[in-house]
Each structure stands twice: as structure tokens, then as C-alpha cells.
Amino acid sequence: MAAFELNWKNTALLVIDMQKDFIYGPICVKDGEAIVPNVIKAVEVARSRSIPVVWVVREHDPLGRDVELCRRHFYSADKLKPAAKGSVGAELVEGLMIKDDDYKLVKTRFSAFFNTHLHSYLQGAGVNNLVITGVQTPNCIRQTAFDAVAFDYHTVTVIVDATAAATSDIHNVIVIIGHSVTRRCPFEDCDAG
């Protein structure tokens, strides 16, 4: 039995950075590929319950002019240029697809809320609960979850087996740290609500 029932009312699902460069590419999140099936399931459950699905993706200027200063070295002439706008690496991984009723949000920083329309979109949709999936736990997942708490979302739930980090140790530490302000659950518990 689930430790809690996830309230799907007034809830949106955030799918963060499930893009080829971050799952399969040279800068991939080690355990990212393993979570793809649970992210797919979370999207299916959300759609079956008419829950808004928000695809949060990075799409950077190919010259890196909109990238954090600490990452601009990836965008010099002979470098990787992860998630460059229009590149194959910026595409969603196989099995994940944006549908007409979904919302695609482009971000250029860790938090899905930083300099984006996310909060405005969610308020307009009547959303006050968030469920978060994707990569990478210590950066984009953590920062988005903490910002959601700062914006007074009622519940912020991180699906622990539909999120990943560079290592399982890092993932687990961040999940524990986040537990003070967010809820955490495996996918099977989230599906039960």
C-alpha cells in the first residue's frame, strides 16, 4: 500500500530534460536511460487523468551565448554544444513525445521557473500541485522543486525512480535533502492515487 495517496487534482507533471544529449550523449546522466520507462509511465498516467504534462527542455544558442558561464566551454567551436537548438541532441528520447495538449517550456538554467513562463502557465491552468520527473537530480530537479516550494505550490512530489543523477549516491543524497520540503515516492505509489 502507498505511504500516501498522491492528489492528482490540480496537479501538473513536469518532465525535465529528457533529451538525447542528457540521456545518451557524451554528457549523459549515468542512470538516465534506466528511468525512461518510468517517465513514460508517468506521462501515460498523467494523460489518462487529464493532468497537464509540461515538457521542460534545454535548447541553447549554438554559440552558447545563453548558457551559464560555468558551462560555456562546451560551446566553443570544436566542443559538444549540448542541447543546441535544432540539434539531434536537443530532441526528446525515444518513447517520449509532446502531444498537442501538452506544454513545451524552454529553459536555459537549472530551474524550470527561472526566467520562464512556467509559474504563469501553471497558475492559469489552476495547478497548485506538482509531480516532477527527469534529470538531473542535484541540478534541475532539485532547483525546480525548491523554487516550486518558494512559489507556494501545495505539494511538490519527486518520483524517485523517474529521476536520476550522475550516480545513485548523488541521487539518493539529494532525494533525502529534498525530503524536508518535498514529497518523494516511487512510481508505483504515485500511480495509486
Question: Model confidence over 27-84: pLDDT tens digits?
Answer: 889 899 999 999 999 999 999 999 999 999 999 998 889 988 888 888 887 777 889 9
pLDDT confidence tier of residue 93, bands split at 50, 70 and 90 = very high
Give a yes or no: residue 3 inside a domain: no
Domains held by the chain: number: 1
Please report, for the domain that includes residue 90, its CATH number.
3.40.50.850
**Domain for residue 121, yes or no?**
yes
Instruction: Supply the range of the domain harboring residue 74.
Output: 11-192
Q: What are phi and psi of 153, to 5 degrees?
A: -65, 140
pTM of the shown model: 0.89
Residue 46 lies in a domain: yes
What is the distance in angstroms between the CA of the first residue and the CA of the last residue of the chain?
11
Q: Is residue 20 part of a domain?
A: yes
**In this structure, are residues 177 and 138 in contact, taking their beta carbons and an 8 Å threshold?**
no
How does residue 137 score in pLDDT terms, banded at 50, 70 and 90? Answer: confident
Say how far apart CA 1 and CA 60 lie, in whole Å.
Answer: 43
Q: Flag whether 4 is in a domain.
A: no
In a domain, 5, yes or no: no
Is 124 part of any domain? yes
What tens digit of pLDDT does each residue of 108-134 get? 999 999 999 999 999 999 999 999 999
Q: Tell whether 98 is covered by a domain.
A: yes
Nearest-5° Cα angle at 24, 140 to 30: 60
User: Cell numbers at residue 60, please?
Assistant: 541553447
Q: Hey, is 33 helix, strand or coil?
A: helix
Q: Is 19 helix (H, G, I), strand (E, B) or coil?
A: strand
